Each structure stands twice: as C-alpha cells, then as structure tokens.
Amino acid sequence: MPKISGKLIIFSAPSGSGKTTLVRHLLTQEELGLEFSISATSRPPRGQEQHGKDYYFLSDEEFKQRVLAGDFLEWEEVYSGTKYGTLRSEVERIWQEGKTVIFDMDVVGGLNLKGLYGDKALAVFVMPPSLEELEKRLRGRQTDSEDKIRQRLAKARKELGRSDRFDHILVNNNLEVAKGEAHNLVKIFLGK
Ligand code: 5GP
C-alpha cells in the first residue's frame, strides 16, 4: 500500500475527449488547491511540449531502470512501444505542499490508481459525445499519423466499456458546461 497523506483527482478518458482541457481549466481555479501530476513517458515530445511541464521525457532505457528501482506507483505500455507512468515522488511532492494531486490519465491507469487509493481518490470518466466526434477531434489536432489515430480509436472503443467503473461519468458535449460540472464535482469531493 502506498503512504496516503492527501487526496487525488483522476480524470480519465479516451484520447481526444477533452480531458486535458478540463484538467487545465481546473488547475486555473486556485481555490481548489490542485496540482498536476507530471507523468513520465518514453515517447518523444509533440509540438510545444516541454520536459518537466507536460511530461518527464525519458529514454526507453531510463524508463525501464526506474521501473526496476520501484519509482512508479503505476505504469503501462499505453501504446505498443510507448510507456507512461506516475512517479511516487510526484505525488509525495504535491502532498507535501498541502495540495491535491490531479491526474490526466488513460482509463486503465486511472482505474489502477483508484484501486490503490479508494475513497481518497475521485475518479471521473470524461465521455466524448460519440466515437464519430472523437475521430473528428483526433484528426483536427493534426499532431498524429493515420496509424496513431487508428490505434487511439481502437483503444477508445475498449475504454468506453470501462466507464461504469468510475465514480462519475462527465459527458463532454459542450465544453463550458463540462467545465462547470467538473468544477462542482471536485469542489464537493474536497468539501470546499
Ligand atoms: P499522449 O501520448 O496523448 O500524451 O497520452 C497517451 C495516453 O497516455 C493518454 O491517454 C494519457 O492519459 C496516458 N497517460 C499519460 N500519463 C500516464 C501515466 O502516468 N500513466 C498511465 N497509465 N497513462 C498515462
């Protein structure tokens, strides 16, 4: 069992559902006292992404070494050949600051964290309006190859089937409405 000295908010969804936008919005709401858990990944940076801000970008070798050292709370090969994981040190650092940790995490990772932390964690599934809309959004980003988009859509189909294991399902039809709902869920969970 990991040491628990604070609370966690987990936002999970298929890639392209808008969870990152919602998490970024929540991070701007100072009264919630949230801080983003920066994951480690073995994939290279995309677009404007920065090391230590969006992810800790590690080589495959470094990633494997840190797995062996027991540095991860959870990790997964989310796409074939690409690993992602949550560092224990991130969560501890944020709790030491007296803040709540917020995660932007794929569905399996989100459920693994919920399993580790139980009632200390609020797990929210962000539901896209439809698979068609999800495909449109993924293509609109223009950051991934056709092959990557297909991988992401195949994964999304599986992930939608796991949505009922989350504490809440938040449908992201309209971003402004979803932002308000996300804010309320977190506020109630933290008793603020
Ligand atoms: P992307 O490459 O689009 O940034 O992320 C790919 C997927 O990996 C997303 O669904 C993202 O939520 C997930 N992911 C990011 N960080 C972690 C992590 O620490 N652990 C796990 N299990 N998945 C993660």
Q: Which pLDDT tens digit goes with each residue over 61-103?
A: 999 999 999 999 999 998 888 999 999 999 999 999 999 999 9
* Total count of domains within the chain: 1
Residue 177, domain member (yes or no)? yes
| pTM, full prediction | 0.88
State which residues form the domain around 153. 14-190
Among 92-101, 144-153, 170-179, whose mean pLDDT is lowest? Answer: 144-153
Q: Please tell me the distance between residue 181's alpha carbon and the centre of ligand 1 in angstroms.
A: 23
CATH number of the domain where residue 169 is located: 3.40.50.300
Q: Please tell me the distance between residue 136's alpha carbon and the centre of ligand 1 in angstroms.
A: 20
State which ligand 1 atom lies nearest to the alpha carbon of 78: 8
Say if ligand 1 is within 6 A of residue 106 CB: yes
Residue 186, domain member (yes or no)? yes
Say if ligand 1 is within 6 A of residue 144 CB: no
State which ligand 1 atom lies nearest to the alpha carbon of 15: 10
> In this structure, which residue's CA is closest to atom 8 in ligand 1?
106
Q: Please tell me the distance between residue 173's alpha carbon and the centre of ligand 1 in angstroms.
A: 22
Per-residue pLDDT tens over the stretch 97-143: 999 999 999 899 999 999 999 999 999 999 988 888 888 888 887 77
Say if ligand 1 is within 6 A of residue 109 CB: yes
Average pLDDT, the chain: 93
Which residues does residue 102 pair with via DSSP β-bridges, in sequence order?
Answer: 9, 36
Residue 3, domain member (yes or no)? no
> In this structure, which residue's CA is closest to atom 2 in ligand 1?
43
Q: Please tell me the distance between residue 86's alpha carbon and the centre of ligand 1 in angstroms.
A: 9
Residue 9, domain member (yes or no)? no
pLDDT band for 158, please (50, 70, 90 cuts): very high
Residue 8, domain member (yes or no)? no
Query: 106, 134, 141: which to mutate for ligand 1, most atoms within 8 A of CB?
Result: 106
